[in-house]
Amino acid sequence: MAFEVTILGNSSASPAPNRHPSGQYINILDHHILVDCGEGTQMQLQRYKIKKSRINQIFISHVHGDHILGLPGLLLSMNLMSRENPIHIYGPKELFEILNVFFKHSETRFSFELNYHTIDPNKTEILFENIYYKVIAFPLFHRVPTAGFLIQERSKLRKLNVEVCEKHKIPFTHFNDLKRGKDYMSPDGKVHIKNEKLTFEPGKPITYAYCSDTIFDERVIKSVENADILYHESTFLHDKIQRAIDTMHTTSKQAGIVASRANVDKLIIGHFSARYDDLQPLLLEARTEFANTEIADEGRSFIME
Ligand SMILES: [Zn+2]
Ligand SMILES: [Zn+2]
């Protein structure tokens, strides 16, 4: 089963030709999540043939326009499609003030339940968990209250050793119990086989870390430690370090340092300033600190297994 992140936008606030502001679509074990929703996100979903009707959780990092301006439009389109399934939106309290004013004055009535979940961006907290995955918010350090997100698989199921199961003629109706770690006991109680003989160890549960907008800060490194993939903003090249500090953003070099010190497997950089037509120099700069870095190319999906 897949854990897949699709990039919908990799640009920062100013419009850039052929690039879009922040938005990511995540499919984790057939649960469909949107993270940030910049202007044009619904058009990007359409372009990459992702059904918006499937999305039922939206996580918003902060209320800067490049992360939320697509949200009212997306919700209104869901309404036009007479959506019935509830939607859950997680974001700082200011987000809900903004949405409420808009929906009040536009006299919008939704055909579905709109559930608001307030994030406190000053603390690390579990926002959601079920048996398949959980989402944790952690503080980022930006001009307005901002949260990063960890999206983590829950513990994985053991893998069947099909060959041995076939040899012992284990009925397939027992497979789910075996994957959950139970021993095999035949219905008449005569055959007992230890689970370890019939299954393999499960792989490590996967963690995806999302850092939207933040100044370089040691505390972020701690929060994203050992993630399989870290998405980190990389708004400027390091020669614009002063600009990065003034606007509370990160340079490509610093994003590489975060990835390296946090011991992640892969770094994806995005949220590029409109001043850069060519993104290659940003990639090369991040790679001087952390070799396994990729650009958050729009439309590209990163699959974690
Ligand atoms: Zn931004
Ligand atoms: Zn911002």
pLDDT digits (tens, 9 = 90+) for 157-168: 788 999 999 999
Q: Enumerate the H helices of 199-298 as residue ranges.
A: 218-223, 241-247, 252-262, 280-289
Q: How far is the CA of 215 from the centre of ligand 2 (A)?
A: 10
pLDDT one-digit tens code per residue, 241-279: 999 999 999 999 999 999 999 999 999 999 999 999 999
Check residue 16 and give its pLDDT: 87
Contacts of range 206-209, beta carbons closer than 8 Å, 24 or more positions apart: 206/3, 206/152, 206/153, 206/304, 206/305, 207/150, 207/151, 207/152, 207/153, 208/3, 208/5, 208/26, 208/150, 208/151, 208/152, 208/304, 209/148, 209/149, 209/150, 209/264
pTM above 0.95, yes or no: no
Mean pLDDT of the chain: 95
- Can you tell me the mean pLDDT for 14-43? 95
The bound ligand whose nearest atom lies closest to the alpha carbon of 39 is 1
CA–chain centroid gap for 16, Å, is 23
Average pLDDT over residues 201-221: 95
Degrees, nearest 5: CA angle 47-48-51: 95
Q: If pLDDT is split at 50, 70 and 90, which confidence band does 1 have?
A: low
For the stretch 45-94, pLDDT in tens is 999 999 999 999 999 999 999 999 999 999 999 999 999 999 999 999 99
Q: Is the dihedral of CA 15, 292, 262, 31 positive or negative?
A: positive
Q: What angle do CA 10, 218, 21 make, to 5 degrees?
A: 10
Confidence (pLDDT) at 187: 85
Instruction: Output the CA 188–ligand 2 centroid distance in Å.
Output: 64
**Cα 213 to ligand 2 centre (Å):** 5
Mean pLDDT of 21-30: 96
Ligand in closest contact with the CA of 146: 2
pLDDT of residue 158: 86
Over range 169-197, report the average pLDDT.
90
For residue 147, the CA-to-ligand 2 centroid distance in Å is 11
Pairing of strands 147-153, 133-139: antiparallel
22 C-beta neighbours (distance < 10 Å), count: 33
For residue 155, report the distance from its CA to the centre of ligand 2, in Å.
33
Predicted confidence at residue 144, as pLDDT, reads: 98
pLDDT in the model for residue 203: 81
Helix, strand or coil for residue 213? coil
Mean pLDDT, to the nearest integer, of 277-305?
97
Strand, coil or helix: what is 15?
coil
Mean pLDDT computed over 96-123: 97
pLDDT value, residue 188: 86
Q: Which ligand is nearest to the CA of 38?
A: 1
User: Would you say residue 104 has pLDDT above 90?
Assistant: yes
User: Catalytic residue positions?
Assistant: 66
Least Cα distance to 92 among 36, 38, 130 occurs for 36
> Residues 9, 20: contact at Cβ < 8 Å?
yes
